[in-house]
Amino acid sequence: IVPVLAITFASCKKDRVCSCKVVNAYTGTYTGVAGTKPADSKYDYKFTVVDASAITARRACVHTKEVGDESQGIKLETDTNCSLE
């Protein structure tokens, strides 16, 4: 009975909230004529994974890191760290 209950609860589908923290950081030496490089920024956001099992929600709620192409001597690095609430 215990394994059946464990599988039942693990596969329970419901709406699940994913909370994310994003950091945009500029790296490198700015060579543009407009002045200084853009300021780093941080922000948070949440999204709902609708009617999902815990496994599906965890797959949708991930940590990513992206590095953009260099422009005027700098690169934008975006670090998005998400977790289920």
Task: Name the pTM for this structure.
Answer: 0.73
pLDDT attached to residue 74? 86
Among 84, 85, 68, 81, residue whose Cα is nearest residue 20:
81
Contact between 53 and 11 (Cβ < 8 Å): yes
DSSP state, residue 38: P
Contact 66, 77 (CB under 8 A): yes
What region, left, alpha or beta, does residue 59 occupy, with left being phi > 0 and alpha being psi -120 to 50 degrees? alpha
Residue 15: is its pLDDT beyond 70? yes
Each residue's pLDDT tens digit, 25-63: 998 887 777 667 788 999 999 999 999 999 999 999 999
